[in-house]
Structure 1
Amino acid sequence: MSVSTVRPDVYAQVQHFYARQMQALDAGRFADYANTFTEDGTFQHSPGAQPAVGRAGIVAELERFHERFADDPVQRRHWFNHVALEPLPDGSLSSTVYALIVTVRPGGTPKIGPSCVVHDVLEITEEGVLTRSRLVTHDQEAA
């Protein structure tokens, strides 16, 4: 198998980026999360849904999605692993990541699901990493 590689420092930078990005999402800091996307970035996280476009659109979509948890003391944690990066001709990176979402309620047992694959295009800028596009596919939809 022939695979292009990225420098170890770029790989580490992307892993750190994902850690900060997912911590913002899990803490409900939707504006901070949206600011990890390019100005015109796209975000599609649910099967069949239209992608949210732009930072304001991403915040609106996350607020809409999380309304279902308004009266539910749930904590969700997004666990990203097996990050595979491929350089693209325009200098950006194609990123494929396995993701598990862990859900726990007070006094409850953590539940894992859904299991997803995250398909990103990332831009490395002077300021750091930004997501140009994100498509999340759910394993239960593919089976």
Structure 2
Amino acid sequence: MSLTTLTPERLRAGIEQFYARHLHLLDDGDAEAWAETFTEDGVFALPGRPEPTRGRAALAEGARRAHAERRGSGETHRHWHGMTDISPRDDGTVHVRCYALVVATPRGGDPRLHRSCVCEDVLVPVGSGWQVRSRRVTRDGF
């Protein structure tokens, strides 16, 4: 895929579709498929962690562990990305900055806002889609 051939509308639609699939995989607990949406050497930096998570195997393990913890607690998490600012770069990557919300719903209970964050990704085109090269999350109030 070449960024020069995409209209801004098609670029936005493709990236929004990428995030929809990406976050559904995470929330559904499909850790391996979710990790495949990162480059092989993808990096994920979260607040409160001394080092970023690096590589698909580590990303999948972290997602598996987090999903198991949520299931064990009887809570469902849904991730939502919005207010997405998409900036193509000269090197063929796309910088995406968005607000990321996590809604937590306990079994039999009411949903509540669990986290409000800013997510900054560098996406690279792969075939007709995208992969995350790097992600940095900053949590509001952290």
In structure 2, what residue type is equivalent to 1:22? Answer: L
In structure 1, what residue type is equivalent to 2:135? Answer: R
TM-score (norm 2): 0.88
What secondary structure sits across from 1:97 in the alignment? Answer: strand
In structure 1, what residue type is equivalent to 2:74? Answer: P
Partner of 2:45: 44
Answering whether residue 60 of structure 2 is matched by residue 59 of structure 1, we say yes
Answering whether residue 102 of structure 2 is matched by residue 110 of structure 1, we say no
Task: Spell out the pairing of 1:47-126 with structure 2 (5 A cutoff).
Answer: 47-126=48-127
RMSD over aligned CA atoms reads 1.5
TM-score (norm 1): 0.88
Partner of 1:16: 17
In structure 2, what residue type is equivalent to 1:61? Answer: G
Query: CA 1:70/1:104 → structure 2, altered by over 3 Å: closer, same or farther?
Result: closer
For 1:137 and 1:111, locate their aligned partners in 2 and report how far apart those are by CA, in whole Å.
19
In structure 2, what residue type is equivalent to 1:10? Answer: L
For 1:9 and 1:43, locate their aligned partners in 2 and report how far apart those are by CA, in whole Å.
26
Q: Deviations over 1:9-63 (max 9, x none)?
A: 0110000000000000000111011000011111123433411111101012223
Partner of 1:138: 139
What secondary structure sits across from 1:90 in the alignment? Answer: coil
Q: Deviations over 1:97-121 (max 9, x none)?
A: 1011000012101010210000100
Structure 1 residue 70 displacement after superposition: 4.8
Structure 1 portions without partners, runs of 5+:
1-5
Query: CA 1:47/1:89 → structure 2, altered by over 3 Å: closer, same or farther?
Result: farther
| Overall identity of the aligned pairs, in % | 35
Conserved 8 A contact 2:23-2:79: yes
Partner of 1:3: none
Q: Deviations over 1:42-95 (max 9, x none)?
A: 112343341111110101222333453352121100011011011122110010
Conserved 8 A contact 1:47-1:137: no
In structure 2, what residue type is equivalent to 1:53? Answer: R
Partner of 2:3: none
For 1:58 and 1:124, locate their aligned partners in 2 and report how far apart those are by CA, in whole Å.
20
For 2:113 and 2:63, locate their aligned partners in 1 and report how far apart those are by CA, in whole Å.
20
